[in-house]
């Protein structure tokens, strides 16, 4: 008897050598009033031959069938949490101290429970940064700005802990600590990581901090020689209560030619195949990206609009996004289902995010007064996609900060969370 359903309560009998009964309900109010020992139906289940393993005979079942008091029962109910996901290619520009993060995070109008923020090119992608030691000063500045915006305070200096992170390791909940006390904060950084120009940082409400478990992080380099970190991904996995999450921040190969599109697909395939998380001490945790319950991929995916440059610019001037999106390379990949089979993206109702003149609302090369030597057709390079079920996207748009040649994008999700409790 693997599964029984009573109204809104789902009963699962997990035998396999363990006397465990789990009750699952999407309405926590129902479970609050549910008393296992006093429920006649549940007593019937425990006292009958239904509670026996499939590979046991009846005599063994009579000897080993647990009583109501012997069996351990876990009750599950479901919660909904809001998750903000944002991505921004900074173009190697150091953020000013007075940078207004609210334009991007929008905390005053639409606050979330978890913030997942990914950056690309937080430092210039030159030889010194690609081959040399990590320059963490800029990522620490970004974390200070983010913490100040989320907690509505003045940015403070960030002190980095003296530890070295290794791939395929379950990390402690903090990688950075603040010089000042954390009392009175609404949000706390659970982890952040940099690989050359890529940087991902995750912040959660303080009341959720203790429900985060099994934090793990893994980086994959896909850049120079197919392995350096100027291109690639940083993936973070964790459990929120009983639900596993995986977030991938990436920067894929650039270029507007057909061969560049294929190169991006190869990058994505390598990230999916080479990102293998630890299975945990009980070997029961998902290892591959798409095996997690909730998965979001964010970053400068660099997919372009596959149309003549002049046609693209003409359609952009007229604001014909729908026509342009029919020729968007990522949309075509999602439809054709090759490397991104099973992935989803919300409707795009905002202008292309790349490539702008600095401190301007004009695309580079689209105005007669400023003609660039480099041909860079505008495109939706910065994207947020997700995989699987259990998440609903309720917002997908961009911010209008003019700090870099990219506009930051953001998405808000509601996620179904499975929470474990003890039956009365």
What pLDDT, on a 0 to 100 scale, did the predictor assign at position 28?
55
Instruction: State yes or no: pLDDT of 53 exceeds 50.
Output: no
pLDDT tens-digit series, residues 195-247: 999 999 999 999 999 999 999 999 999 999 999 999 999 999 999 999 999 99
Q: Quick one: pLDDT band at residue 35, thresholds 50, 70, 90? A: low
User: Using H for helix, E for strand and C for coil, what is the string for the chain?
Assistant: CCEEEECCEEEEEECCCCCEEEEEECCHHHHHCCCCCCCHHHHHHHHCCCCCCCCCCHHHHHHHCCCCCCCEEEEEEEEEEEEEEEEEECCCCCCCCCCCCHHHHCCCCCCCCEEEEEEECCCCCCHHHHHCCCCCHHHHHHHHHHHHHHHCCCCCCEEECCCCCCCCEECCCCCEEECCCCCCCCEEEEEEEEECCEEEEEEEEHHHHHHEEEEEEEEEECCHHHCCCCCEEEEEEEEECCEEEEEEEEECCCCCCHHHHHHHHHHHHHHHHHCECCCCCCCCCCCEHHHCCEEEEEEECCCCECCCHHHHHHHHHCCCHHHHHCCEHHHHHHHHCCCCCCEECCCCCCCCCECECCCCCCECCCECCECCCCCCCCECCEEEEEECCCEEEEEEEECCCCCCCECCEEEEEEEEEEEEEECC
What pLDDT, on a 0 to 100 scale, did the predictor assign at position 154?
72
Is pTM, for the whole model, over 0.85? no
What pLDDT, on a 0 to 100 scale, did the predictor assign at position 159?
46
pLDDT tens-digit series, residues 340-368: 999 999 999 999 999 999 999 999 976 55
Q: Quick one: pLDDT band at residue 48, thresholds 50, 70, 90? A: very low
Mean pLDDT of the chain: 83
- Tokens standing for 36? 């296992």
Superfamily of domain 76-155+183-422: Endonuclease/exonuclease/phosphatase (3.60.10.10)
Whole-number Å distance between alpha carbons of 297 and 343: 9
pLDDT tens-digit series, residues 171-204: 344 444 333 335 568 999 999 999 999 999 999 9
The percentage of the chain sitting over the pLDDT mark of 70, rounded to a whole number, equals: 74
Instruction: State yes or no: pLDDT of 372 exceeds 70.
Output: no
Query: Smallest Cα–Cα separation from 208: which of 411, 22, 419, 422?
Result: 419
- Among all chains, which residue has been given the structure tokens 């997942």? 116
Instruction: State yes or no: pLDDT of 90 exceeds 50.
Output: yes
Provide the residue ranges of all domains of the chain, joining segments of one domain with +.
76-155+183-422
pLDDT tens-digit series, residues 258-308: 999 999 999 999 999 999 999 999 899 999 999 999 999 999 999 999 999
């Amino acid at each position: 008897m693997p599964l029984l359903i009573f109204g809104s309560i789902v009963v699962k009998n997990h035998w396999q050598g363990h006397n465990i009964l789990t009750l699952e309900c999407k309405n926590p109010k129902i479970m609050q009033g549910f008393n296992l020992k006093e429920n006649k139906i549940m007593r019937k289940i425990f006292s009958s031959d239904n509670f026996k393993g499939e590979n046991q005979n009846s005599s063994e079942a009579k000897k080993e069938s647990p009583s109501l008091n012997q069996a351990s029962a876990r009750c599950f109910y479901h919660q909904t949490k809001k998750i903000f996901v944002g991505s921004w290619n900074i173009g190697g520009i150091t953020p000013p101290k007075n940078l207004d993060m609210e334009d991007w995070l929008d905390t005053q109008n639409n606050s979330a429970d978890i913030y997942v923020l990914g950056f690309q090119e937080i430092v210039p992608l030159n030889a010194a940064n690609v081959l040399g030691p990590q320059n963490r000063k800029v990522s620490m500045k970004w974390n200070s700005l983010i913490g100040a915006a989320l907690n509505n305070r003045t940015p403070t200096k960030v002190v980095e802990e003296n530890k070295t992170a290794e791939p395929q390791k379950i990390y402690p909940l903090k990688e950075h600590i603040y010089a000042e006390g954390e009392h009175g904060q609404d949000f706390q950084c659970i982890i952040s990581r940099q690989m050359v120009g890529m940087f991902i940082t995750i912040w959660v409400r303080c009341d959720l901090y203790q429900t985060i478990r099994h934090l793990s992080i893994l980086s994959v380099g896909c850049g120079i020689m197919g392995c350096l970190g100027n291109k690639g991904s940083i993936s973070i996995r964790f459990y929120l209560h009983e639900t596993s999450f995986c977030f991938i921040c990436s920067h894929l190969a650039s270029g507007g030619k057909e061969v560049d599109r294929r190169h991006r697909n190869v990058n994505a395939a390598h990230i999916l195949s080479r990102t293998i998380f630890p299975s945990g001490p009980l070997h029961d945790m998902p290892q591959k990206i798409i095996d997690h319950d909730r998965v979001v991929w964010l970053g400068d995916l660099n997919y372009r609009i596959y149309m003549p440059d002049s046609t693209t610019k003409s359609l952009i001037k007229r604001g014909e996004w729908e026509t342009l999106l029919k020729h968007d390379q990522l949309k075509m990949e999602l439809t054709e289902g090759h490397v991104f089979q099973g992935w989803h993206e919300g409707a795009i109702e905002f202008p292309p995010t790349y490539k702008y003149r600095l401190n301007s609302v004009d695309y580079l090369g689209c105005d007669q007064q400023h003609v660039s030597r480099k041909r860079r057709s505008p495109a939706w390079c910065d994207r947020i996609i997700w995989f699987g079920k259990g998440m609903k996207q309720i917002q997908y748009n961009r911010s209008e900060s003019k700090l870099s040649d990219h506009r930051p994008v953001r998405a808000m999700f509601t996620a179904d969370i499975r929470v474990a409790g003890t039956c009365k």
